[in-house]
Amino acid sequence: MATKHSYMLCGLFLLLIADRAFSIIPEEEQSPTFWNVKGKEAINKALNLKPNLHRAKNLILFLGDGMGITTVTAARILKGQLAGKTGEESVLAMETFPNVALSKTYNVDRQMPDSAATATAYHCGVKANYGTLGVSATARRYQCGSVKGNEVKSVLHRARMAGKSVGIVTTTRIQHASPASSYAHSANRHWYSDSDLPPEAVQGGCRDIAYQLIHNTDINVILGGGRQYMLPKDTSDPEYSTEKGDRLDNTNLITEWLKNKKNAKYVWNKAEFDAVNEADTDYLLGLFEPKDTRFELDRNPDTDPSLTEMVEKAIKILQKNPNGFYLFVEDNGRIDHAHHATQARYSLHEAVEFDRSIERASQLTSELDTLSVVTADHSHVFSFGGSSERGNPVLGTSFEVALDNKHFTTALYGNGPGYQIVNGTRPDVNNTISTSKDYLQQTAVPLESESHGSEDVAIFAKGPMAHLFHGVQEQSYIAHVMAYAACIEPYTDCQLEVVPHDHAISMHFGFLVLPLGLMLSLLSVM
């Protein structure tokens, strides 16, 4: 039974916690005036919002694989804390987008989705079965014969057919599920190379994903990982002497991609990447690892470009096309992979870098003629909570102890490899342990790999027709809005007007371009 003395100690502890919390709260936030002014500013901003009814010249789809709303919140706080602030008041670039909706992520045959069928939804506008790429739900996983006749075309492919330049930037292997659904049609997301095809698929005439990358759609910019699936099995990797390609057809797909292309370049390291002159490059293939690229926390900036650097290079190449461009940007693989490993630190740093790339893209484009959409394919069973004061490290521990009298982190997983209960007990943890680079967050259920979540994810949008993103929508709706905004198949009759060129320039550079006659008149009276 608790004693009077123990109650006093508990009360003293809570008072100390409260004093510490109040000591870091910005003084202005303690006044009602601060919040009233903030509220009025938000109201005025909302009242001044006007839908952009122009046709989108450019389309950019940013996809954070596994970036559920919990991940967005935790990444926001981490971004602020990396800048020396408490973090909660921070704002991500994606959160400045004025239009927000929710996306329902289930697959046709599964409540909990995977990255292949979800990618088919947001790329192609059609929901599909778990593990399948670029095919309708009539197709069945692993059944090669079910692919023919059930292929569905992505917005990327349709944009290219409409005369736009197109590109893919990813931190995973370029043949991974999320980018692959923009160009491939496959009964199995893991058929990366011809060496991955089972005999029945070979006999049925199915092609591997890497082969389809080269032959299905004329893609201008391809940046990510995945060299292994492009090289013959007896060809050594240029970076790792012990690594080789794994193609059985003895075809170098990199060489095949370069054939018959003007102003085309292939690069595999940072030095070659930096040397690429966007002005005289129309095609760029950059493959920086045999499989996935390195996590941002492990990336060597001297040898591998960041996601933000790849996005900048891609936009500068693609935007030379007077018809505009379509760009797919994915940091979903590495956000997702770290969550599967229950390594929240890695995942959240990936999300912060992903947001940097969004900010850089916004600086390089105009909201007047570029529709930018940020979303996720699915969530994870990642939670962020527990008792914590303002400014608590996003990867830190709760100030309360659990019923077993041990500390716990505010970031936890419902399942995964971080399960640490042995003989009915779990280890204690402190901030030093929980913020270490390789720490695995504790989980409730032991699994070899943490699972995806099944809840809705957010859609953030800005630019032409961004107001169409509202409410709760099927994930396949994303592709339809992007196609409609650009007036490409199946919405070539959308009748949206193209924004005047001079108006776009003035909006992009933040000044008004005056007609020549008026400008001369003004100069004459000066």
Is 123 marked as binding a ligand?
no
CB 355 within 8 A of CB 94: yes
Is 339 marked as binding a ligand?
no
Is 452 marked as binding a ligand?
yes
Q: How many CB atoms lie within 10 A of CB 145?
A: 15
Residue 473 CA neighbour count, 13 Å, CB half: 22
Task: Round to whole Å and give the CA distance between 385 and 397.
Answer: 10
Is 336 marked as binding a ligand?
yes
Q: How many CB atoms lie within 10 A of CB 502?
A: 12
CB 373 within 8 A of CB 367: no
Is 474 marked as binding a ligand?
no
Tokens in use for 361?
A: 């893209």
Catalytic: which of 6, 90, 103, 115?
115
Give bridge partners of residue 58 from the DSSP assignment.
370
Tokens in use for 301?
A: 């900036």
Q: Which residues contact 322 (CB under 8 A, 6 or more apart)?
A: none
Is 178 marked as binding a ligand?
yes
Q: Which residues contact 191 (CB under 8 A, 6 or more apart)?
A: 197, 201, 206, 208, 209
Task: Round to whole Å and give the CA distance between 310 and 223.
Answer: 7
Return the residue matching tokens 């077993």: 404
Is 337 marked as binding a ligand?
no
- Look at residue 454 and give its three-state secondary structure: coil
Tokens in use for 152?
A: 């569905």
**Which residue type does 392 have?**
N
Q: Which residues contact 429 (CB under 8 A, 6 or more apart)?
A: 397, 406, 407, 408, 409, 442
Task: Round to whole Å and give the CA distance between 268 and 231.
Answer: 13
Residue 13 DSSP label: H
Is 502 marked as binding a ligand?
no
Is 330 marked as binding a ligand?
yes
CA nearest to 409, candidates 421, 427, 395: 395
- 165 carries an active-site annotation: no
Strand pairing class (325-330; 58-63)? parallel
Tokens in use for 143?
A: 């059944």
Give the DSSP H or E segment for 202.
helix 199-203
* C-alpha R_g of the chain: 25
- Residues at the binding site for Zn(2+) are 65, 336, 340, 377-378, 452
- Residues at the binding site for Mg(2+) are 65, 176, 178, 330
- Residues at the binding site are 65, 176, 178, 330, 336, 340, 377-378, 452
Residues with a catalytic annotation lie at 115
